[in-house]
Amino acid sequence: MSAADGWVVEGPQAPNGRAVDVPGDKSITHRALLLAALAEGRSRIEGPLLAGDALATRGVLAGWGVEVTEGAPGSGGKVAWEVRGRGLRGLVAPQGPLDCGRSGTTLRLAAGIAAGQGHPVTLSGDPQLLARPMGRIRDPLRALGATVEGPGDAARAPLFIHGGALRGGAWTPEVASAQVKSCLLLAGLCAGVEVTVVERTPTRDHTERLLRHLGVELTVTAGADGAQRVALPAGAGPLPAFTLEVPGDPSSASFLWAWAALTPGGDVSVEDVALNPGRTGLLRVLARMGAQVECTPAGSRGGEPVGRVRVRGQALRAVEVGGAELVALVDEVPLLALLATQATGTTRVRDASDLRHKESDRLATTAAELGRLGAQVEVLPDGLRVRGPTPLHGAVVESHGDHRLAMTLATAGLVAHGATTVRGVACHRDSFPGFCERVAALGGRVDALEEAPC
Ligand code: S3P
């Protein structure tokens, strides 16, 4: 017998009310690594996410000649990385294409840095990443003066980028995207020019917070229409070396919170988790749906608020979600759809069409796979409609290589009646290695699927 790439979950199971932690935040780990590489001297990152996407960023930095080594463990024995910074323009011309794996954040943020260096860089990755849209960074990087080439006029990676002497400028992205915003801020930072990003709908601001923490005088001005201008001044930097302890990832914690919210009397606390308001939209929506949500702030690290969040399950009601709120839970839409299957009424998710371009077409895959468990989820041009409450029953479902869907389906298995088999779950390590162990710490079981080899 060999362990196959799948999970079996027997439901329903209730969480035991304990408190757990979750691995380091993915978005913050990417930015900590990249800014440490661009800083002067040796930085230390404690509790980084040790998972596929963050390791892809570390691999890209290795290709750029940045040394990342393991340092003495941090508080509670946490892994610590030491990064020897090379300064804003000191990266070494890579020998070949830089491999971004399956990580869109790695590729889009690295593209900004590449545009600000004096040497050409090719950014590539797994077929799944090469299928994702890159026009959103191609156009503004070209407007700043960089050469960006690739298949289909660089609508997709691999991207060949050659910049260096950029001109400054302002850009209004068509899609709300923290990756696009961060790409442009990093390009301006490395090239030493002024860059302004006008966001019609504000997105997660981890790059801005860490830059400010390092002394960069970014300005953020809000317009009357809800838009905001994020302006990086010319000649920002050099960046000082820093130490940062990465807080837990609220997107990973969301699977555990959702399990509690979906279980009458269910109770889950997650400690030391990032509470950036640009990331905690699901908690606000959960409270509106009727779950009991208790946040206990515990200060801030690297400009990011952190704390403990307890969620307790109660009867849920349907909600309408769109606009800025959607952006603040953009990675949690599959979970929101699952929650909506157990809420009374019809839930409507709007402004979510960009989810078609994540690790899978998340609108289609979420609707199809939850549907196999008995849910009524309809795909609409800009989002989803979910009717509830609908009893869920075990079935065989598929992750489509999408880490967030794999864990949403396992969470569904925890609350469905009978056995759920989730196929294609290795991808959960892209963002949340230790998912099954956290479920176990909360008294639940997600077992590896055992299959005879063919
Ligand atoms: C991320 C931004 C989001 C999110 C992704 C991580 C980031 O993507 O979906 O998981 O770290 O900047 P977009 O900015 O493309 O929406």
Ligand 1 and 196: CB distance under 6 A = no
User: Where does 27-158 show beta strands of DSSP type E?
Assistant: 39-46, 68-70, 80-86, 98-99, 121-124, 147-149
331 flagged as catalytic: yes
Angle between helices 104-115 and 26-38 (to 10 degrees): 20
| Backbone φ, ψ for residue 21 (5° rounding) | -110, 175
204 has a pLDDT exceeding 50: yes
Token reading at 381? 């041009």
pLDDT digits (tens, 9 = 90+) for 321-346: 999 999 999 999 999 999 999 999 99
Q: Nearest C-alpha to atom 15 of ligand 1 is from which residue? A: 177
Ligand 1 and 57: CB distance under 6 A = no
SS3 183: helix
Ligand 1 and 197: CB distance under 6 A = no
Ligand 1 centroid to Cα of residue 177, in Å, is 6
Ligand 1 and 27: CB distance under 6 A = yes
Run of H or E including 112:
helix 104-115
Q: Nearest C-alpha to atom 16 of ligand 1 is from which residue? A: 177
Mutation choice for ligand 1 from 179, 327, 432, CB with most ligand atoms inside 8 A: 179
Ligand 1 centroid to Cα of residue 182, in Å, is 10
Residue matched to tokens 């959607």: 326
Burial 232-257 (b: 16+ CB within 10 A, else e): bbeebbbbebbbbbbbbbbbbbbbbb
For the chain, report the end-to-end CA distance as a whole number of angstroms.
10
**How does the average pLDDT of the chain come out, rounded?**
96
Token reading at 434? 């230790």
Question: Distance (Å, rounded) from C-alpha 361 to C-alpha 445?
Answer: 28
Ligand 1 and 28: CB distance under 6 A = no
Domains in the chain with CATH codes: 6-23+247-448 (3.65.10.10), 26-245 (3.65.10.10)
| Backbone φ, ψ for residue 319 (5° rounding) | -140, 165
CB 325 within 8 A of CB 371: no
Ligand 1 atom at minimum distance from 331 CA: 9
Ligand 1 and 275: CB distance under 6 A = no
Question: Distance (Å, rounded) from C-alpha 71 to C-alpha 36?
Answer: 14
Nearest to 253 by CA among 110, 89, 441: 441
Question: Distance (Å, rounded) from C-alpha 357 to C-alpha 172?
Answer: 20
Question: Distance (Å, rounded) from C-alpha 350 to C-alpha 362?
Answer: 14
Sequence-distant (≥ 6) Cβ neighbours of residue 224 within 8 angstroms? none
Q: What integer pLDDT is reported at residue 1 of this predicted model?
A: 35
453 has a pLDDT exceeding 80: no
pLDDT digits (tens, 9 = 90+) for 123-153: 999 999 999 999 999 999 999 999 999 999 9
Q: How far is CA 329 from CA 280, 333, 450, in A?
A: 7, 7, 34
Q: Is the pTM of this model over 0.95?
A: yes
pLDDT digits (tens, 9 = 90+) for 26-70: 999 999 999 999 999 999 999 999 999 999 999 999 999 999 999
Sequence-distant (≥ 6) Cβ neighbours of residue 8 within 8 angstroms? 419, 420, 421, 446, 447, 448, 449
Is the omega angle on the peptide bond into residue 264 within 30 degrees of 0, that is, cis?
no
pLDDT digits (tens, 9 = 90+) for 379-411: 999 999 999 999 999 999 999 999 999 999 999
Sequence-distant (≥ 6) Cβ neighbours of residue 200 within 8 angstroms? 172, 176, 225, 226, 227
Q: pLDDT grade, residue 451 (50/70/90)?
A: low
Query: In the chain, pLDDT over 70 holds for what percent of residues?
Result: 98
Nearest to 211 by CA among 177, 247, 244: 244
Question: Distance (Å, rounded) from C-alpha 350 to C-alpha 334?
Answer: 13
Q: What integer pLDDT is reported at residue 246 of this predicted model?
A: 98
Question: Distance (Å, rounded) from C-alpha 293 to C-alpha 203?
Answer: 23
Ligand 1 centroid to Cα of residue 196, in Å, is 19
For residues 154-163, give the mean pLDDT. Answer: 97
